[in-house]
Chain A
């Protein structure tokens, strides 16, 4: 069994947020929901100010708290060590959200992408409404990616949670997660931690690495090397 995870080189990261935006494109994620997100922190007093930007995503923990808490096995581990979510089993109890130490699981309180069903336009008779745009494109949302539906619901429905899958549909085809491919600085590396020759293992051997909330005991598999 493989143990896929990610190493993020904060020295390479420029804090552009492209990972978050491209993730939304690839996975048809609604606004207000972030599979790929970031923490920002500014400390010190001018001129001695320090700014930190830390990209975040599901840590695909070896000992995932969300998997333990889920009453229906909707949250589960797959054979690549990914923490995945089965929308057909989810009852929307939000136990996983409570249990996750990283707050990276989101709940669909309403049917997603309401904007693209809205008839109101920004300028009456001047701009197209969301619904008109979606109809012209012939898709539920203009940037809809049908590839996402290969392993997960293309667009998740109201009343269930959703989260990062480390682009399992792309990994299955031998491709990199889209946040990795789209990072302009090449700060993200994905690989199998059980493969001693993998790039991720080389990176955490070469540099001192950190994880978010290691004391939570979930054995997260997103490692951060160097500093922003």
Chain B
């Protein structure tokens, strides 16, 4: 009999794209608060992309369900004990709020009280969705996911992914749905006097590395079952983990951004470095979520 992991790569894609989406949204919210006019177009691009990424992720998740046509029943058959049930509510609420937020940016209507309400509730639900991604895994009680660390890891990974993506967009001068004049504002948004993306990038990559290392140490001391699962993860995915998650996804970006800050703490990374490091972080983030989800599902003999 062939064994199937209950969840295939579509669940990883949902959590990865959803994570990028809420990361972008929160960065857009932050840029709006930091300098609504100065970072208007970068914040707008984040606002436009956030619901698209979360929505595409949800489509992957729906396609993974055995009976996707019954998805809405998670709302009316709501199980208060189920994190998945809460996740359904949070994602629907976030999608609605993020679409309104994007629409308000598109209509250039970002100064009214309605925008502030959407901005505030959107932030709350983006955080809920970001926390839900890891909490969903933690709630299932499997040895690799239990203990709460995965919740923090997935949330920070999502924030980091969103930061890397917006840095990439900024450096490549992408400006979908943005006028040429405003696109120039995007390019000039990093002249050293405003929001420093390199500092945020460096803080988040360092925080994620600390969390990953703490998680790995706690796994190795977490009892027989947890330690066996962690060993199995390294046996199966050790090369990918060390190469893509730790080295490419965290250590090289930390060193690169630190080097840039040591050189001049008020300026941003060079364009080439920002593009390379952001790409590495995004690839590392995907690999991280893929390995944690895949390795967490591996079955072990039931001890008797």
Contacts and interface: CB of A to CB of B under 8 A. Distances in A.
A89 B84 contact: no
B65 A93 contact: yes
A226 interface: no
A52 B304 contact: yes
Given A91-B67, A93-B65, A159-B66, A109 B4 contact: yes
Contact of B79 (A32, A73, A224): A73
A68 B303 CA distance: 24
Main secondary structure of the interface of B (DSSP, over half): loop
B91 to A, nearest CB: 12
A97 B8 CA distance: 13
Interface string A22-54: 000000000010000001010000000000101
B66 A98 contact: no
A95 B140 contact: yes
A160 interface: yes
B82 interface: yes
Contacts of B142: 98
B140 to A, nearest CB: 4
A69 interface: yes
A146 interface: no
Given A68-B82, A71-B88, A97-B6, A91 B71 contact: yes
Interface string A86-112: 000111111101110111000111000
B234 interface: no
Interface residues of B, number: 32
B7 interface: yes
Contact of B299 (A103, A108, A158, A159): A103
B297 interface: yes
Contacts of A95: 82, 84, 140
Contacts of B83: 69
B66 to A, nearest CB: 2
Contact of A39 (B65, B67, B299, B301): B301
Contacts of A94: 6-7, 66
Contacts of B71: 91
A69 B82 contact: yes
B82 A70 contact: yes
A68 B65 contact: no
Contacts of B304: 39, 41, 52, 54, 210, 212, 224
Given A92-B67, A108-B66, A72 B302 contact: no
Contact of B81 (A67, A108, A109, A159): A67
Nearest to B7: A94
- Listed residue (B73, B82, B139) with the most chain A CB atoms within 10 angstroms of its CB: B82
Given A68-B82, A89-B73, A99 B140 contact: yes
B66 A72 contact: no
A213 interface: yes
B82 A71 contact: yes
Contacts of A65: 140-141
Contacts of B302: 39, 56, 101-103, 212-213
B141 A71 contact: no
Contact of B85 (A71, A107, A109, A213): A71
A72 B301 CA distance: 29
A149 interface: no
A98 B297 contact: yes
A153 B176 CA distance: 51
Given A91-B73, A92-B65, A108-B66, A70 B140 contact: no
Interface string B66-84: 1110110110011101111
Interface in A101-142: 101-103, 107-109
Nearest to B81: A68
A91 B79 contact: no
A216 interface: yes
B77 A72 contact: yes
B4 A93 contact: no
Interface string B100-131: 00000000000000000000000000000000
A46 to B, nearest CB: 22
A73 B299 CA distance: 25
When A and B form their complex, which 7 residue pairs have the shortest distance between CB atoms, in order from nearest?
Answer: A92-B66, A159-B66, A71-B84, A94-B6, A72-B77, A71-B85, A68-B81
Given A52-B304, A54-B304, A98-B297, 4 more contacts: A39-B301, A65-B141, A69-B140, A160-B66
25 contacts: A32-B1, A39-B301, A67-B81, A69-B82, A71-B74, A71-B78, A71-B82, A71-B88, A72-B73, A72-B77, A72-B85, A90-B66, A90-B67, A91-B71, A93-B84, A95-B84, A98-B6, A99-B139, A99-B140, A99-B141, A107-B6, A109-B4, A159-B65, A212-B304, A213-B302
